[in-house]
Amino acid sequence: MIRRATVADSRAIAEIGVRGWQAAYRGILPKGFLAGLSIAARETAWRAILEADPDGAAPAWVAERDGAVEAFLSSGPPRDNDVPRPAAEVYAIYVLPAAWRHGLGRGLMRTAIRHWNAAGTTTLVLWVLERNERGRAFYEATGWRPDGGRQTVELGGIATVEIRYRWYYDAVGQSAVVAIRSGRHG
């Protein structure tokens, strides 16, 4: 089941984020940095984020399986000035590693795409670590494409490259929605 995230989900979102980072970025980011990620600190941050958005301008969703929250997606206005408006950005999507390949990420992505389409956006963007091959494969399988945007960010004391992916609501985007709905990808 996919539903809007609430403040009560802050702890689960924090745990999913930390466990997701630790699994997805193993071999990409320093071991010590990943081991030191704090669920408590992230819980505090998520509580503040969710409390600060009562009108849903930056919606987040959670996916439950067997009554437990196992994945989340957060989104909102794009942070980049060069993204054509109206647009939105997927800020984060993470699934507990034990729940990978069960359709939760695909369901969350479908929910966000439909939400932002209904809100009138024409473009969605997201940033992904260039070396995150699993994440990039998921995005590409669900219709996202690199758009040439690149930036270097510091994580764990190292500089790493992020690349931007873009989703357009057009004939290509609509065919990707069909692929997401049918479960053929991701």
Digit-coded pLDDT (tens) for 90-144: 999 999 999 999 999 999 999 999 999 999 999 999 999 999 999 999 999 999 9
pTM of the model: 0.90
What torsion do the CA atoms of 136, 134, 64, 43 make, to the nearest 10 degrees?
A: -80
CATH of the domain at 72: 3.40.630.30
Q: Domain limits at 33?
A: 2-182
Q: What percent of the chain shows pLDDT beyond 70?
A: 91
Instruction: Return the beta strands (E) in 8-155 as ranges.
Output: 60-65, 68-76, 87-95, 123-129, 145-155
Instruction: Tell me the longest C-alpha to C-alpha distance in the chain.
Output: 45
Asked whether the beta carbons of 34 and 21 are under 8 A apart, the reply is yes
Q: Closest Cα partner for 181 from 120, 111, 102?
A: 111
Count the domains in the chain.
1
Q: How confident is the model at residue 175 (pLDDT cuts 50, 70, 90)?
A: very low
